Amino acid sequence: MRDLVDLDNRLDANLDGLLLARDTAWNLCANLLEREGLAGIFTAAIVAFSSGNEEWRRRVIDVGISNDLARGLISALGWLDFQHAEVQVDRLLTEKASELRLIGIAGAAVHRRCPPQVVLEGISHADPLLKSRALRAAGELAMRDLVPFANRCLDSDEDSVRFSAAWSCALLDRCPNAITALRSVTESGSLFQDEALDVALRCTEVTAAKEWQQTLSRSRGHLRLAVTAAGVIGDSELMPWLIEQMSQPVSARIAGEAFTMITGVDLAFASLQGEKPVGFDPGPDENPEDENVEMDPDDNLPWPDPELIAKWWGQHHGEFQRGIRYLLGNPISVDWCQQILRKGRQRQRAAAALELAIRQPGQPLFNVAAPGFRQQKILGVR
């Protein structure tokens, strides 16, 4: 939390400087608008939305839409305090164009402030992108009355619609058919498979969750998902298998993170880190003939030392009870998840937020992507 607040305060100070400069700032932003991608759209949108200048507003929205950079506009609405964002959101929600209404719903959902009727209208819309964002908003805002409408979308031909409907139905009501749909999304190789796995496992009873994890582990193409699943489930029974995966370079770092998710032990702080295997290079290199252009998904994770971790587990396994789900070293509970929101790292906080939403029906999903100073205020952290 402290790191997030420090970073976001620095960003906010720079944005304040732009707002004070007004015309000069807009000229700078306008010149970079189409060259700086999401960052350019975000910055220009903050200046335009805060100025009240209709020409600037229209320009930044047009560029954002035409260049498929709507996420920058949504981020700008999410950054502004709701008093200022609401003016823009209300206008966007009255637009006929579905892409503008999508931005309006998403901008309101970031603040967890969107009327149920607006969300329902989005769910009923023909445009799949708008429909899927509205379905997602229903889950984020804990709109349990909309579960029957979301349920009707579980057999959609559109992957994003089917996933969003299942994600919200599982989160809000643990609907068995929604969990089945999430499992299907996970195993299909969908772009949404990681999110689907996360929610499906957290909404599944621990024995059934472990059975699914074992099924994934036996499938060569799903090994990474199985390792992630072990960390999500959090049952100590999976630890010996998890330590075995730390000996395989392709799964070692994600297995190390799963170990931390269960035990709360920081590999670096506890001197359980290992060395990068000689010759292992999962990411792109400078060779123009190399067709591997995918970035290493675990680049920011430490390498675990399997022998040291096995020794640590041998000394501490008695502190963990089989059949109990753990998150960062403690059984999952509302109080513990609230503490993680205040003190955990970002992916740990995201896990805690999901667990809280599942355990507290009717409470919106805490937004760990909101500006740090806003999260700090909501959590009462100084």
Rounded Cα distance between 137 and 382, Å, is 29
Under the banding of pLDDT at 50, 70 and 90, the label for residue 279 is confident
Mean pLDDT throughout 351-372?
Answer: 96
Mean pLDDT throughout 340-348?
Answer: 96
Q: In the prediction, which pLDDT does 281 show?
A: 75
CA-based nearest residue to 338, from 324, 320, 359, 361: 359
The radius of gyration of the chain's CA atoms, rounded to the nearest angstrom, is 22
Under the banding of pLDDT at 50, 70 and 90, the label for residue 294 is confident
Residue whose tokens read 């619609």: 161
**pLDDT, averaged across the chain:** 94
Q: In the prediction, which pLDDT does 34 show?
A: 84
- Is residue 42 classed exposed, middle or buried when 0-12, 13-18 and 19+ CB atoms within 10 A define those classes? buried
> Is residue 199 predicted with pLDDT exceeding 80?
yes
Rounded Cα distance between 345 and 36, Å, is 29
Under the banding of pLDDT at 50, 70 and 90, the label for residue 220 is confident
Q: In the prediction, which pLDDT does 278 show?
A: 85
pLDDT tens-digit profile of 115-128? 999 999 999 999 99
- Is residue 240 classed exposed, middle or buried when 0-12, 13-18 and 19+ CB atoms within 10 A define those classes? exposed
User: What are the domain boundaries of the chain?
Assistant: 1-112
> Is residue 382 predicted with pLDDT exceeding 80?
no
Under the banding of pLDDT at 50, 70 and 90, the label for residue 291 is low
Q: In the prediction, which pLDDT does 123 show?
A: 98
pTM: 0.93
CA-based nearest residue to 127, from 147, 151, 97, 149: 97
Q: In the prediction, which pLDDT does 295 show?
A: 78
Q: In angstroms, what CA-CA distances link 374 with 80, 377, 380, 381?
A: 10, 5, 10, 10
